Amino acid sequence: MFLDSDLLFSALRALTPILLAALGGAICERAGVFMIGLEGMMLMGCFTAVTVSWFSGSPWLGVLVAALAAAAYSLILAVGTVTLKGDAVVLGVAMNLLAVGLTGFLLRTTFGVQGTFDDPALAGLGTVDLPGIASIPFVGPALSGHSALVYFSWIAVPVAAVLLFRHPWGLRLRGVGETPDAAATLGVSPARYKYAAILVSGVLCGLAGAQLALGNVTLFSENMTAGRGWIAVVAVMLGRAAPVGVLLAGLLFGIAEAAGFRLQGLGLPQQATDAAPYAVTLVALFLTTAKRRRRTPAGASA
């Protein structure tokens, strides 16, 4: 019973924050903004969600404010790169660093604790059972019983795909990402679309953070995103900035990680299971890139 519904359940739950952030990253990528600050925005979402849920008693208000706060935070990148033409990589990394410092500082000043804020009275998101599905053997227990944001992330994938590839907004956004000049001459403001993409990714990262801090667990701890934003960045790349691709990339990573946990149980050293998901992702990248290269014949000296 190596691959059981519990493992799948865990993998799906662990996947959610990464998936939401990666969707945001994919939208930015399509808009021509290289978004490396997912981690920082997610962490801001974590902190805000916990803070607002704690003071208001309403986790959903926490989710809402987390989305708004992360979006506000994403303005650093929007103003920095779009308006002031700064470098997206520098700003993104700076946003990650700033978020760690800022949430740590605020944790101390707001809650008077350091490291972790956890309280049984902190309201989490709660779980939702999917009627009808919950009773299906194997699949049911894995798919049902998640928080509402988990289901939201599943819906967000097709919605984002349709938005990007079928809706006029997506067509324009992709145009902006590829040739901003061309979009501008047709009256589409690249700046406006880039702002929109960055803000949407902020919202998604805020939700990712809220899910991590109020759904996956119910607490805030410093630097609790623990590299998930980076995994999201890699998922954007591996998934070729397409929502479904991002989902598959995230799933691959999530399953590799969940399987790694199991392998620990079978006596593999912790270091091997730590490294496994990254190695699997790397191999997947090689395979997909090699396949793509074979399809596009020579000449393309990237």
**Using CB under 8 A, which residues numbered 185 to 204 contact another protein?**
185-189
Q: Which of 51-59, 129-137, 161-169, 201-209 is the region at the interface with another protein (rule: CB under 8 A)?
A: 161-169
Q: Which of 67-75, 152-160, 169-177, 191-199 is the region at the interface with another protein (rule: CB under 8 A)?
A: 169-177
Per-residue binding string, another protein, 4-23, x by CB under 8 A, is: x-xx-xx--xx--x------
Orientation of helix 59-77 relative to helix 190-210, angle to 10°: 140
In the complex, the smallest distance separating the C-beta of residue 93 from another protein, rounded to whole angstroms, is: 6
Torsion angle of the four alpha carbons 225, 226, 231, 233, in this order, in degrees rounded to the nearest 10: 60
Q: Which of 47-55, 146-154, 198-206, 222-230 is the region at the interface with another protein (rule: CB under 8 A)?
A: 222-230
Per-residue binding string, another protein, 238-277, x by CB under 8 A, is: -xxxx---------------x--xx-xx---xxxxxxx--
The reply to whether 139 sits near another protein by the rule CB under 8 A is no
Contacts (CB under 8 A) with another protein, residues 57-116: 76, 79-81, 84-91, 93-98, 100-102, 104-105, 108-109, 111-116
8 A C-beta contact, residue 116 and residue 222? yes
Contacting residues for 267 by C-beta, under 8 A, at least 6 apart: none
Quick one: tokens of 173?
Answer: 């956004």
8 A C-beta contact, residue 23 and residue 278? no
Q: Which residue has the tokens 């934003």?
A: 229
Neighbours of 110 (CB within 10 A): 16
The secondary structure of residue 146, as a DSSP letter, is: B
Contacts (CB under 8 A) with another protein, residues 33-52: 34
The reply to whether 221 sits near another protein by the rule CB under 8 A is yes
Orientation of helix 228-238 relative to helix 270-295, angle to 10°: 20
The span from the CA of 59 to the CA of 52, in Å, is: 7
The reply to whether 156 sits near another protein by the rule CB under 8 A is no
Closer to another protein by CB, 16 or 65: give it.
16
